A and B are shown apart, each in its own frame.
Chain A
Amino acid sequence: MDAMLHITTLHYLVLGAALFLLGVIGVLTRRNVVIVLMSIELILNAVNLNLVAFSRYWQGIHGPNALHGQVFAIFVITDAAAEAAVGLGILIAFFRNKETVNVDEVNLLKW
């Protein structure tokens, strides 16, 4: 029971991989830009989960000061916030011109 309840790094990695997969599928399949952006957040958070899991793993080997992964996760969160802001800004500008938020209708930039 205890062993069953014991959560290892592998669990986190599997969860992260599942989340990442969900995010990728969301990005590739959903037409609404807002949901695409949300899917990107999912991908980023899957990565964050990995980083934190490995940080925890490293703390077990090198002591409580091995916090690199956590610091890195905070960078990624910051980055995600900035990315969401820019992405939503572009989305609003785009919507003003095309009155749509469907990503498959954004196809002018080509040869």
Chain B
Amino acid sequence: MLFLDHIWLIPLFPAVGAALMFFFGRKLQKATVSTVCVGSVVLAFLMACGAVWQYTNWAPANDNKPYQTILYTWLGTDTGHLNFQKSDGSPAPLQADAGFLLDPLSSIWLLFVTGVGMLIHIYSTGYMAHEGGYYRFFGYLNLFMFSMLTLILANNYVLMFVGWEGVGLCSYLLIGFYFHRKSASDAANKAFIVNRIGDAGFLLGMFFIAWYMGSLRFVDVTAAARSGAFHIGDPIITAATLLLFVGACGKSAQLPLYVWLPDAMEGPTPVSALIHAATMVTAGVYMVARSNALFVLAPKSMLVVAIVGALTAIFAASIGLVQNDIKRVLAYSTVSQLGYMFLALGVGAFSAGVFHVFTHAFFKALLFLGAGSVIHAMSGEQDMRNMGDLSGKIPVTFRTMFIATLAIAGIPGLAGFFSKDEILWQAWKFSPYLWAIGFATALMTAFYMFRLIYLTFWSPSRVASHEVEHHIHESPKSMTVPLVILAFFSLTVGYLGVPPSLGGSNHFEKFLEPVFANAQEKEAPPTGESGPGLTEYLLMGLSVAAAGAGWLLASRAYGNAGKGYTEPIAAAAPPVYRTLLNKYYVDEGYDYVFTGRRKVGEVRLGVMGAGEASSWFDSHVIDGAVNAAGWITRFTATFSSGWDKWIIDGLFVNGIAYATQPFSYLARLFEWGLVQWYALVMTAGLVGFVFYYVYH
């Protein structure tokens, strides 16, 4: 039990690598950086293999239950002092462990994340050899590995969220690796901000679960959900799962939050391969699969997941049909394939979805690394219109990418065939409409992938300058060896999940059975078909035909694409072509509605527009009312003051005085100041009185 007991070492190795790069990276030689960072991931990979091997030995003897090891309580306390109230009023401890969980689901992620991650680290030593910031790049990559492994191995939602945010941060840092380029830093911001929306949903979903279930540990939540205490269609669980799915939409680039992923191609190509194709973007699938016991209780959420997945699949695939940037084609392909995975999860075929994640990780990483190799050979050129006829010049890249293309297109015998066909079959069982969308997407997938192959490798050379033409060279061993290894896996991993209808026993599904126990019961009722039906073979034949048709169409359209070739879609329906080339104008729409960078005339729409409108309302209406009140008050004050001054003081007070004054002139004539005159008047008055009284 050496590996299993020390499972915490798996994320720790890359963490140490990242820390070393952070503190000492600047002073280290490139060779040292490579040794430390690649070494840490190799160690993690070996540890992961050992742990999974030991788990497969341990599990059968332990009822196939997940292996959980809790190091310590990381958030909250285990003394019960920090309780919150559950929905039923009972107290529950608020705590999150630094704990690790290994079960078949995390085993699969653990293996391909460390495995593909290791190969991409090796590849990067070649790809980034001539770039500045070498240590910074590897430091970020190691930090990413640490976060991703934390996400995968976490035994509770909170720790998973830490990893979730960690990979988001690393994604941001690595998309913006060429930070001196405005487009790169913009793309990094976009990825980070769009992911925030999803993360908010994840957080809220988490709170719902804690409030409703009383615990955030996966084992507790799963056990509670399967205990039968909650009925199917429980509104709280529906809300919680929908919120979790919002989080998954952000991280796994589903409608309507997919917009960041195509722009994320601004990062170095190994980053696109590792983070934006193979591992991080599948975190949403992982989280939904991890919460499968909850999703099974919420059929409405499942339906939403399936519909969003199907729509995303066909939406992104249609955009991919006409893109000219080799990495953008692959980016839309990734979005589309992620849509497939969610379609599978939504129809209840969890293990089919996970299987597609697994196979997709190999061939999509291979495609991106191959594209990186092409770009490397073309001296940085990414536009497929300026490529062509590279098959003989970079044969290893060509052959490996061709294998990956066959795999993703669904050519029988390769990885993608088995996983995609399983999804389409399960979708058919759920609803033929969803199958039809998936089928159309499969046709488009084959078309755009072979378009990529034809334009890049087979059609006549359209290379712009002789200098570039002359410089074309096969990549170094450090880059081709990972390609070859990934190509080998793209060829073979499909055989892990051969369905019974093709004579296999679907080991993959059996391995995952303990995780999706109740989902399986629901998905295949006992009355279901006992053996492979005719329909299944028919659908299989149709999807193979779709792959072949896509190849054929692409070869007809691009087989002889010389300089200035025309796109068949552009020739047939220019408006459709323009719409697809401009990605359905979704970014422009978001610019109008959410970011406020664009206006209709003078008016800004959406959130910013609302802000601007309320700002206008505030400054004109509210402030206007305030000012009006002020003006009215000032007017009445002026009036009142004038009244006081002119009417009260003027008319009544002074007016009376002025009116009195003229009389005073008369009166004061008697006041002339000579005493004897007064005396004379007095005497005269006296005499007058006397005469009056005497003779009256």
Question: Bound pair: A and B?
Answer: yes
> Among B668, B676, B683, which residue has its beta carbon within 8 angstroms of that of A103?
B676
B534 contacts the other chain (Cβ, under 8 Å)? no
Instruction: State whether B676 touches A110 (Cβ < 8 A).
Output: no
A46 → chain B closest CB, angstroms: 14
Is there an interface contact between B674 and A107, defined as CB atoms closer than 8 Å? Answer: yes
User: CA of A73 to CA of B672 in the docked complex: distance in angstroms?
Assistant: 35
B671 with A111: CB separation less than 8 A: yes
- B680, A28: Cβ atoms closer than 8 Å: yes
Residues of B within 8 A of A3 (CB): none
A16 CA / B108 CA spacing, docked (Å): 151
> What residues on B are CB-neighbors of A28 within 8 Å?
676, 679-680, 683
Tell me the bound Cα distance from A21 to B330 in angstroms. 142
A38 close to chain B: CB less than 8 A:
no
User: For residues 35 through 65 of chain A, which have their beta carbon under 8 Å from a beta carbon of chain B?
Assistant: 36
A104/B676 contact (C-beta < 8 A), A24-B683, A28-B683 known:
yes
Q: How far is the CB of B677 from chain A (nearest CB, A)?
A: 9
Q: Is the CB of A27 within 8 A of B673?
A: no
* Chain A, range 18-39, C-beta contacts under 8 Å to B: 24, 27-29, 36
Contact (Cβ within 8 A) B673 A109: yes
Cβ of A110 and Cβ of B673 under 8 Å apart? yes
Complex alpha-carbon distance, A111 and B680, angstroms: 19
A108 close to chain B: CB less than 8 A: yes
**Measured between alpha carbons, how far is A19 from B676 in the docked complex, in Å?**
19
- Asked if A106 CB lies within 8 Å of chain B CBs, one says yes
Q: Are A107 and B673 in contact (CB under 8 A)?
A: yes
Q: Does B2 contact A (CB under 8 A)?
A: no
B573 interface contact, C-beta 8 A = no
**B671 contacts A103, C-beta separation under 8 Å:** no
Cα distance A36–B676 when bound, in Å? 9
Which chain B residues numbered 209 to 249 have a C-beta less than 8 Å away from chain A? none
Give Cα A104–Cα B536 distance, bound, in whole angstroms: 146
Q: Which of A70-111 contact B (CB under 8 A)?
A: 103-104, 106-111
**In the complex, B675 has a CB within 8 A of chain A:** yes
CB pair B671–A110 under 8 Å, yes or no, is: yes
Whether A103 and B675, one on each chain, are in contact in the complex, defined by CB atoms closer than 8 angstroms, is yes
Q: Within B649-689, which residues are at the interface with A (CB < 8 Å)?
A: 668, 671-676, 679-680, 683
Give residues in A with beta carbon < 8 Å to B. Answer: 24, 27-29, 36, 103-104, 106-111
Known pairs A107-B674, A110-B668, A111-B668 / 17 extra A-B pairs, C-beta < 8 Å:
A24-B683, A27-B676, A27-B679, A28-B679, A28-B683, A36-B676, A103-B674, A103-B675, A103-B676, A104-B674, A104-B676, A106-B673, A106-B675, A107-B672, A107-B673, A110-B671, A110-B673
B interface, CB within 8 angstroms of A: 668, 671-676, 679-680, 683
